[in-house]
Structure 1
Amino acid sequence: MNEITVIKCETVGKGKIRVSFDTGLSCLLYRGEMKSLDICEGGMIDALTYQRMIEEVLCKRARRRAMHLLEQMDRTEAQLRDKLKAGEYPKECIDDAVMYVAKYHYIDDERYAANYVRNAQSKKSRMRIRQDLMQKGVAKETIEAALEEEYVSDEENQIRELLTKRKFDYKTADEKEFRRTYSFLLRRGFKANDILRVMKYEEPYYLT
């Protein structure tokens, strides 16, 4: 690969240009970066300039972006990758940025999962926490280890506390209120039998 052709340059706002190359790469560059690299639509750059753009411009910026995202809030590796991908960074720059922050433990899925279980268990069931962490891209074995280590809640007590907060009284609840409360607890991931037992109901006719 001696020379690379710049196929298209498209303004996307805030001084950013989406630059497409005949290598298949498409990335975002600032006007100043394009000028320093002598990149323009229809022009050509040599392989060394192309590699310098990736390593010295895009990868360095991806690292800074990753650090900024993690300063805002703790994230899983999958969440961080999704954010960087949305910023149109090349895959090799995303990989480099993730390796960089992981090296200094700025990102750690085991820590994230443990903290999530610890903080969420007063409001959510074990099943719901497992589902949440899976959606956040945490590996199954990491989730199970965190649940085993951190989850200590009594789910029936959790249900009682949630019913108290909602001021639910099984003696006066009508069908509409029962259904609404029952569905709310199901969405939290609690088991139907546990919910009904705490709500002091045998399964009502309108749930059969």
Structure 2
Amino acid sequence: MGTIAGIAATEQNGERFWIIVHRDGAPPLRLTVDQDVLLQFRLKKGMEISDDLLQHIMHADEVKKAYQQALYFLARRMRSEHEVAAHLRKKGVPDSVIDEVLKKLRVERYVDDEAFAAAYVRTQKKTASKGPRLIRAELERLGVPDRLIEQSLAEYTLDEQAAIARSLYEKAKKQRRMESTRVFLERVRQQLMRKGFQHEVIAAVLADGGVHRGQEEWEALNVQAEKAHRRYVRHPRPLYEQKMRQALYRKGFSLDLVDEWLRRQDSEEGEKGGSRP
């Protein structure tokens, strides 16, 4: 049992107050509490405080401090309950206090895993062009319950997935014009897989976009063949052709197309009056 001998605002924070408790046969106890805790327990000078009440006051203040930490953490963006709990644990907050904080945050709608999952799916598909498999993995890592993950991803239709995957294909097509169709399609396939799109969506997008690259294929071959030509031009003709076929085949071009390029190149050299030994 003790008696409150004094209450005063702290210098560092006007919302926290020093409380000095005189106890029989023990040194005075000095502690700080939040103003809300002060009001909650109607603390005032001369009030008697039992040990049990003191424990309740200290626990309430722990909850208040952890609640404020959670609000600061939530200020920048929405968070899952799992993220908030993990953040507070890193701060040394015990699980019993975290549970109370989460209950309060739920009531006040500062945390809502259902709304969080739905918003996360909308954001990731629109701003990061992610597919459902990658989004699912990220939501699982963020501790969102499976039921809410399924519910949020149900809004991500196959048509939306195909449209986003097709936009990534078109962007890659502009950036990789000088690659063979085989290499290009494999790179795009790998990119779409990393982005988390389903296999059937990837197959449909590649089938729609990858079959009409005839002129582009020839232009890409010309660029890659000129590079290889400069590397092997000093070789005798049989070795030169062998090296050219090997290099361009590794780049994904068909041997028929490579042979056609070699025939044209040989014809051009003949017209210029030069021939390779």
| TM superposition score normalised by structure 2 | 0.51
The counterpart of 1:182, out of the listed 183, 189, 192, is 189
The counterpart of 2:153, out of the listed 137, 147, 154, is 147
Q: Which runs of 5+ in 1 are unaligned?
A: 1-31, 39-45
CA 1:51–1:147: 2 relative to 1, 3 Å: same
RMSD after superposition: 3.2
Aligned to 1:115: 119
Aligned to 2:105: 101
Q: Is 2:165 the counterpart of 1:159?
A: yes
SS in 2 for 1:72: coil
Aligned residues: 164
Give percent identity, aligned residues only. 26
Shift of 1:55: 1.2
Deviates more, 1:49-58 or 1:66-75: 49-58
Deviations 1:160-207 (A, max 9, x none): 1012223358875246554443222111111344324423459xx99x
CA 1:155–1:173: 2 relative to 1, 3 Å: farther
Listed as ranges, the matches of 1:1-208 within 5 Å are 36-37=30-31, 48=52, 51-52=55-56, 54-122=58-126, 123-148=129-154, 150-152=155-157, 153-168=159-174, 172-174=178-180, 177-200=184-207
Higher relative contact order (CA 8 A, sep 6+): 1
- Larger gyration radius, structure 1 or structure 2: 2
Check the 8 A contact 2:185/2:206 in 1, yes or no.
Answer: no
CA 1:56–1:197: 2 relative to 1, 3 Å: closer
| TM superposition score normalised by structure 1 | 0.66
Deviations 1:124-155 (A, max 9, x none): 2122222221111111111111222x323432
Normalized per residue, the structure richer in helix is 2
